[in-house]
Structure 1
């Protein structure tokens, strides 16, 4: 079968030409890269002349493996079974002939193939010229550079505050701007150091920072106005006439409108900021205050019913304006462009904002230099420093280093994969590597990417650079754009669905500066298979996501029945969207392949252990103490727990922890508590008192682990998996031991947040659970994407916003704005950049959805939970898909599988039932002698989770359910009557009625809840 883009694929193998290839999902880009490398091997004198760069070690390994496998198959005279395999083997045979002729012995020495990650290549560059780059040959990148940033900032800031130096004055100015909040200043500087490759080169190159930044600002404004001018130009004369008419006819009470600035206008204003008022007037004339096209024209915007008694003229102008608006609605992207114009900021920095920026421009280069010195002294670095060191090692385009000249001689061909995720610093490295190249000198540059799959804006990736590379030269190298269109992964049914829906999901027009990417349709290589290719399911009015999670389990079972050996992937946007799904999978007996997906910080055994750690280390942490009294090894019911809440609440200021500890065995407590509570405290209190007495007498881990074991923590676990999770926590705790305590709780909590459950040894090899980002580059027979309407993580307001934008003419421009001074109105430029950031985020979310959907080979299932009549959650995946499916949702189309919640008391009180359910060790529990976690030869029969080793018991399910039902009725009553109608007296008066309801349900007074 001949593919429709076969000619483009063959053209991409020409070693004498340079290309920028757009390769959509499933288009076989890795195979194309493999074929080009094989083709280049037949032309070079040494394999080291070819440099391949990718973004991950996995991708580099896969490319190397494919090349070697092709060479091996060619050596073994393997027969091709497909057309693309035939091409690959022919190229491999030619490469082997060159290998034999020049004695390379690639099959014996595959490391001669220079296939590296970009970070790995930069590290090699920096080490090759350690003296010039300021980089030691023994330096290794840090996994967590944050503490080092904080140390450098502290070492610079604290002395500077006491000195009358330019740096000291800059620090003082910034503190004044931030209301003397030193923590805010540290937070700001940490954020800037993390992304210093975006701003450092701009500030170092600019002789006059203010002039440079304002020039960039005006260029960005002019670019938007030029776009508006281009789109309105065909209607310019008529629009100018109608705008002048409207401005002239505005009533005196409305002369404050921007429309008034259009009076006397005879043509469209030029596309620059000198005429911004008139542009804003045009926007106000065409759009409502909510940025929608105007539907109503009246006297308040300059279209009265008569003009000096002439009704015919007024009617004619109004009709002309109505007809013009109808035409303008059909201009692609015009409404969005006019909205952009409305949000344009000032062209020159106000003095108060420039003072803060000027201070940053003074401070930041010094801070960046201090960090570099610190890294050299301590022989550590971050990945940004590696990139910056590589740039220093290469020199500049006008003054290349000896290393750059040597590389120019050594490297003839460069190939770069995943170019859509390139950062500006990495782009600059590529520009330096090709600086000396000339047309037709035997060099070639080959970049491959898919702008629709650019997901890493949070890692400084700039998809605009890929768009720029397809239209503007990289240095002296002009790349020819090539487009692949055939999808070899998904069946035709999925391709058709994506082609139908995604033009509405992606922006209509390309915008290099903003990184906006329109959808490019693809063609299916594989025919459609029977049955629905894409299944969209909506759960309406469900109080939680349990039903959606259970449906995921059912879909896994259905996929198993259809294709027992097929691969299945459950893909989510964030790990936090998985707890209900993982719980449902566990209940159904499924195991799965996953890494870094199940955070231990959300696992109850680890949470309980952390509460125990906090309680013993922090005497005044009442929440921690109450948590361990509720944990399974203790398990006080809420009546007993309330007693201790009252005690600690009344006496916290006077005695705090000692009082709570003494109350655990006090006579007063024993008379106030239930029989079950008394029995529990009789066992637990001595253990906690003994643990407190042993503080700082043992290593931290031994102390906490010993207390946990004595309380019965291991026996309260439900499985060997939970035991392993606790082991991971205790191992981490051991690394943070500082004289029997934890010196930095914030650092420790972050470390706990980074812990993930280890993959199960006997996990199902065909069931995968991962984030969409992790799934990039993979494919699965069945893909399930639940939680489309899940809320994303909240973004904290930033103290400084900056944007390194790619201009339409090529090149990077830095825009930067600090937040307004404390107590002042929000800054125009800050609001503009914040809007740009949100627009970029929205576009990237659409690309995340595209990547998730295009992992599917045969079946795709999309699930969401939403209230009937509601709009999707802002910035959710469903919100991105909404323009394509909104009509189907509102019409309850049968293209969507609907699940309507049927509310009842039992279901509505599900959350309350979970809270009421209480797991705890039985009263007769006694501690085991063995040290649970240190026994390396513990048999499976002794492991937590077996019948003999899991003695915790669940309190009566019926008691919890009936208690939840009555509690739900009470809460519903409060909601209906209003909380203001309720008082303590109301509760006392109604208490007998609730007790009757509980007794009618079979709950007696002595039962614990």
Structure 2
């Protein structure tokens, strides 16, 4: 086996980045590395989990299959290895599983801080604040800042004055909302540049001086001089009118105002500013030129400098005011939150950044930042021999500065025992908004190879294992058109892109498909074309995955609604769902909480009484807000929010019509309340705020059309991709916000609230900075388009409006220019003919994938409770049900429903009691009877089942290792059906090696079963459901369905009933 070299892989989309990284991990193990001394870091927990899964799969496959062993051994250049060697390797990895270091950068940084709290200035352990907790702490800090018992304190007065400067006198009724906006927009910039001299400092922005502040003399004199000179000139009426308007507007204008009538002359004067300063300007006024005399030039230059300089001074003052506001807030926040050990992920990272200038928690001169960091790095270096970094294009310079010393030591290792490996695709750098730095990859490569030539090898990966040849043809045509891109985007953006581009090839040449650029003028027409393409291809019916990619979450939500409404397609917007507020049930429950916490909140009280909760309150004899306060706050204090919510849902849900959506939202609301309970708070206002911002991501499924943003699609692949959202502004549009100039070490030089375009374009320093920002935005947008166009495997359809005559370098123009698509032509997609300009591949490619016939289904909404959920079919993917007519056919919803609302309530209560039982024997009944005393008739039923000899096996712990699942929810795809359900009770038994050898499903039924004929009927009625559960359990445990037994627990007869296998 050859010695491992340090390596940086320049990957491409679909080229196997994870495959290369896991091969590297196995190669390190083959070379004798201990698993726990390999550090592999990425950006998401999901990706880290994929590392672990793929490593185990790869080694396990090689351990059990000689062919896989030979292939893996060849790839890692260790041909001598066989199955026995990989089996030993597998034992080593699984034995060190608890010590493996496969994780995220954020997780690693947090682990370092937890390992060295005292060295970093912490007094002990710390808490990483999640989004809600960070918001709560912010509100507490603001309340503390504004709390007063009399007049304003000096610090408060100073803050208000700073706020006035920051807003430059703008009135704002909602001060709290504006401060929240300030902190959202500017706090990260402040933490990166906390020094006062970095904000609005003209000496830093214009170190060589600025012409806007250097003109001397009174403005009134300059105006009078220019007016007198122009009065003697021969001018047209139009020209005199232009000058008269300009002079009339001057006295009424002030910095911060719209230019209005000043703009015409100011724009023309700035266009010849260098000549104006030199005294020989030729000014265009009313489409005719005026050659100005030196005196006229000087006078006009003085006026222009006064206008521009005034606006610049205003922006400098505003910037300094913003800094003062942020500094005042951060001083209080630092003292009350960070020093209390409550840190955000950003705080954690800045604690570790050398010379970061961010939050410093240690006090006194004894704390030596550099010395302490070296000690920490020394100890970290002693634990790690090999570094593997994934998605390196998204790494920020700050993150790299934390790792740099450690990687330096590895790269400089002269014995060859240690290694550095990273993989990334700088063409997919779509996270610049969170400081991802695409240039860092090449900078590091050049840095180490400059120190030691050949220290690091660089290897490109250009073979796509995802996309077929027609799609790769289109990708190459667009992104490999170096001359066209250089013409559209002259400057650093195209230069950087062209330097990293390598022509792609398809590693799956037999994968047939189609790529096309289509036309549609309006958004409505683009959405209609999207629907027609999906209806023609029928990807879901052919077993193909499908996605529609857009650029904004709001567009994804609206487009998914459109596809469902007009096409009846199972389309899901994969955006974050506000599950506690997007439905009437959640809104009513939050109103209930507000009314309980604030009895004087008549709006919340009336809201509650406009919902079915009114009947609940009447039944519970809660007639006044004070009664509600006593009841709800008492429940919260005793049981927490989750149990309180569940109690009210138990009272409310029986009064609602059966509605699967509401049932799901009820479960999600209760689950969110449980998450809030984990914070330890009993504050209702905090709870309401938490629930209002709580978000849940829809579960992924192949059985739906997935509508999502391009950012969310990164790393995914789909058989069919439609791209209908590529209109809008030029690729070079910079993000709004403060201008932040950095040096080569990414340290902030200056910060400025930029003036309007006309002013900044006239200033060489500001215009150069904006040009850099535009180039960065252009590169990021090219990356975004690249990510979008490399998600498809077989079919890719871009839909844009024609570029027209606009010179704007927007996405339609880029696509048409690079594809040389000038003339419209009909493009066929199956039997559908659409207007387009470019196409490659086979329009009938989809016919090679036959349609799957779906069974007809006539299901009714399931009457679910919180504790018992049935199987819910995925759209167009019906769940399997018993088909034997002698079994007695029932609608899918009734398969899980109990007869009557009273029976449903009783069954829910019994299930809830059984959920509390882990293991039990007959002797445990007495203690549980006391605990369950308030549960009514359900208690007697549950206790009788616990004491029944025939049901002893249900509750008894088996011999050997065992675990029990209670009310365990699952989601799984079987035979093309997306199934959701809940196991009542599953006993899982394992052998000495930890493998599952047996599982027993116990399904509780409180049906009215009294005779043997009733038992036989119940078994027949539920056998389809339970045999489906048997298959699910076989998959989830890995034991296979043959190792799974199923039985009904008939609570009325106190006996089990075995479910025969299909």
Scaled to the shorter chain, the TM-score interval is: 0.5 to 0.7
Structure 1 residue 453: deviation in Å?
Answer: 0.9
Within-5 A mapping of 1:3-402 = 15-17=4-6, 19-42=7-30, 46-76=34-64, 78-80=66-68, 86-88=74-76, 90=78, 93=81, 105-135=92-122, 138-144=125-131, 145-156=134-145, 162-164=152-154, 169=158, 172-178=161-167, 179=169, 182-183=175-176, 186-187=179-180, 190-191=183-184, 195=188, 199-200=190-191, 202-203=193-194, 209=198, 214-215=203-204, 257=269, 300=289, 352-358=314-320, 367-368=329-330, 370-375=332-337, 378-391=340-353, 400-402=373-375
Structure 1 residue 533: deviation in Å?
Answer: 1.7
Q: State how far apart, in whole Å, the 2-side matches of 1:164 and 1:57 are.
A: 47
Structure 1 residue 544: deviation in Å?
Answer: 7.5
Q: Are the structure 2 counterparts of residues 758 and 73 from structure 1 closer, same or farther at C-alpha, using a change threshold of 3 Å?
A: closer
User: TM-score of the superposition, structure 1-length normalised?
Assistant: 0.58
Structure 1 residue 734: deviation in Å?
Answer: 9.5
Q: Are the structure 2 counterparts of residues 51 and 948 from structure 1 closer, same or farther at C-alpha, using a change threshold of 3 Å?
A: same
> Cα RMSD (Å) of the superposition?
6.3
Question: Which residue of structure 2 aligns with residue 245 of structure 1?
Answer: none
Structure 1 residue 860: deviation in Å?
Answer: 1.9
Q: Are the structure 2 counterparts of residues 805 and 347 from structure 1 closer, same or farther at C-alpha, using a change threshold of 3 Å?
A: farther
Q: Are the structure 2 counterparts of residues 92 and 582 from structure 1 closer, same or farther at C-alpha, using a change threshold of 3 Å?
A: farther
Q: Which one is further off, 849-858 or 460-469?
A: 460-469
- The answer to whether the 8 A contact 1:199-1:814 is kept is no
- The answer to whether the 8 A contact 1:495-1:522 is kept is no
Question: Which residue of structure 2 aligns with residue 458 of structure 1?
Answer: 433
- The answer to whether the 8 A contact 1:592-1:765 is kept is no
Question: Which residue of structure 1 aligns with residue 793 of structure 2?
Answer: 857
Structure 1 residue 752: deviation in Å?
Answer: 3.5
* 1:569 aligns to 2:547 (yes or no): yes
Q: State how far apart, in whole Å, the 1-side matches of 2:141 and 2:772 are.
A: 31
Q: State how far apart, in whole Å, the 1-side matches of 2:402 and 2:581 are.
A: 42
Q: Are the structure 2 counterparts of residues 202 and 514 from structure 1 closer, same or farther at C-alpha, using a change threshold of 3 Å?
A: farther
Q: Are the structure 2 counterparts of residues 116 and 691 from structure 1 closer, same or farther at C-alpha, using a change threshold of 3 Å?
A: same
1:844 to 780, 788, 791: 780
Q: Are the structure 2 counterparts of residues 597 and 174 from structure 1 closer, same or farther at C-alpha, using a change threshold of 3 Å?
A: closer
Question: Which residue of structure 2 aligns with residue 423 of structure 1?
Answer: 396
Q: State how far apart, in whole Å, the 1-side matches of 2:193 and 2:620 are.
A: 59
Within-5 A mapping of 1:985-996 = none
- Secondary structure of residue in 2 paired with 1:133: coil
Which structure carries more relative contact order (alpha carbon 8 Å, separation 6+)?
1
Question: Which residue of structure 1 aligns with residue 514 of structure 2?
Answer: 533
* 1:724 aligns to 2:664 (yes or no): yes
Question: Which residue of structure 2 aligns with residue 911 of structure 1?
Answer: none
- Secondary structure of residue in 2 paired with 1:777: coil
Q: Are the structure 2 counterparts of residues 173 and 131 from structure 1 closer, same or farther at C-alpha, using a change threshold of 3 Å?
A: same
Question: Which residue of structure 1 aligns with residue 528 of structure 2?
Answer: 547
- Secondary structure of residue in 2 paired with 1:578: helix
Q: State how far apart, in whole Å, the 2-side matches of 1:703 and 1:34 are.
A: 47
- The answer to whether the 8 A contact 1:435-1:475 is kept is no
Q: State how far apart, in whole Å, the 1-side matches of 2:651 and 2:329 are.
A: 51
Q: State how far apart, in whole Å, the 2-side matches of 1:860 and 1:465 are.
A: 32
Q: Deviations over 1:23-42 (max 9, x none)?
A: 11112222222333334445
Question: Which residue of structure 2 aligns with residue 904 of structure 1?
Answer: none
- Secondary structure of residue in 2 paired with 1:699: helix
- The answer to whether the 8 A contact 1:39-1:91 is kept is no
Q: Deviations over 1:619-639 (max 9, x none)?
A: 99999989998x9x99xxxxx
Q: State how far apart, in whole Å, the 2-side matches of 1:439 and 1:568 are.
A: 47
* 1:755 aligns to 2:695 (yes or no): yes
- The answer to whether the 8 A contact 2:45-2:103 is kept is yes
Question: Which residue of structure 1 aligns with residue 295 of structure 2?
Answer: none
Q: Are the structure 2 counterparts of residues 476 and 127 from structure 1 closer, same or farther at C-alpha, using a change threshold of 3 Å?
A: farther
- The answer to whether the 8 A contact 2:549-2:722 is kept is yes
Q: Are the structure 2 counterparts of residues 545 and 517 from structure 1 closer, same or farther at C-alpha, using a change threshold of 3 Å?
A: closer
- Secondary structure of residue in 2 paired with 1:844: helix
Q: Are the structure 2 counterparts of residues 836 and 263 from structure 1 closer, same or farther at C-alpha, using a change threshold of 3 Å?
A: closer
Q: State how far apart, in whole Å, the 1-side matches of 2:820 and 2:588 are.
A: 46
Q: Deviations over 1:888-929 (max 9, x none)?
A: 5x73564897669xxxxxxxxxxxxxxxxxxxxxxxxxxxxx
Whose strand proportion is higher, 1 or 2? Answer: 2
Within-5 A mapping of 1:486-635 = 486-503=463-480, 517-518=497-498, 520-526=501-507, 528-529=509-510, 532-540=513-521, 547-548=528-529, 550-551=531-532, 553-554=534-535, 557-558=538-539, 560-561=541-542, 564=543, 566-576=544-554, 577-581=556-560, 584-585=563-564, 597-600=576-579, 605=584, 609=588
Q: Are the structure 2 counterparts of residues 539 and 49 from structure 1 closer, same or farther at C-alpha, using a change threshold of 3 Å?
A: same
Q: State how far apart, in whole Å, the 2-side matches of 1:744 and 1:147 are.
A: 10
- Secondary structure of residue in 2 paired with 1:781: strand
- Secondary structure of residue in 1 paired with 2:111: helix
- Secondary structure of residue in 1 paired with 2:109: helix
Within-5 A mapping of 1:608-757 = 609=588, 696=629, 698-699=631-632, 715=656, 719-729=659-669, 744=685, 748=688, 751-756=691-696
Q: Which one is further off, 776-785 or 50-59?
A: 776-785
Structure 1 residue 414: deviation in Å?
Answer: 2.3
* 1:781 aligns to 2:705 (yes or no): no
- The answer to whether the 8 A contact 1:790-1:876 is kept is yes
**Runs of 5+ consecutive residues of structure 1 not aligned to the other structure:** 1-9, 222-250, 265-276, 290-297, 303-344, 635-660, 662-682, 901-929, 950-1009
- Secondary structure of residue in 1 paired with 2:692: helix
Q: State how far apart, in whole Å, the 2-side matches of 1:486 and 1:684 are.
A: 64
Q: State how far apart, in whole Å, the 2-side matches of 1:388 and 1:95 are.
A: 46
Q: State how far apart, in whole Å, the 2-side matches of 1:712 and 1:523 are.
A: 57
- Secondary structure of residue in 1 paired with 2:721: strand
Q: Which one is further off, 141-150 or 724-733?
A: 724-733
Question: Which residue of structure 2 aligns with residue 449 of structure 1?
Answer: 424
- The answer to whether the 8 A contact 2:13-2:787 is kept is yes
- Secondary structure of residue in 1 paired with 2:13: coil
Q: State how far apart, in whole Å, the 1-side matches of 2:604 and 2:576 are.
A: 28
- The answer to whether the 8 A contact 2:45-2:104 is kept is yes
Structure 1 residue 496: deviation in Å?
Answer: 0.5
Q: State how far apart, in whole Å, the 2-side matches of 1:602 and 1:257 are.
A: 55
Q: State how far apart, in whole Å, the 1-side matches of 2:320 and 2:569 are.
A: 59
Structure 1 residue 131: deviation in Å?
Answer: 0.3
Q: State how far apart, in whole Å, the 1-side matches of 2:449 and 2:209 are.
A: 22
Q: State how far apart, in whole Å, the 1-side matches of 2:898 and 2:762 are.
A: 62
Q: State how far apart, in whole Å, the 1-side matches of 2:377 and 2:660 are.
A: 56
2:751 to 797, 816, 821: 816
Structure 1 residue 172: deviation in Å?
Answer: 2.6
Q: Deviations over 1:516-570 (max 9, x none)?
A: 6447243223355586521444445575777356436515624633xx3x43334
User: TM-score of the superposition, structure 2-length normalised?
Assistant: 0.55
- Secondary structure of residue in 2 paired with 1:33: helix
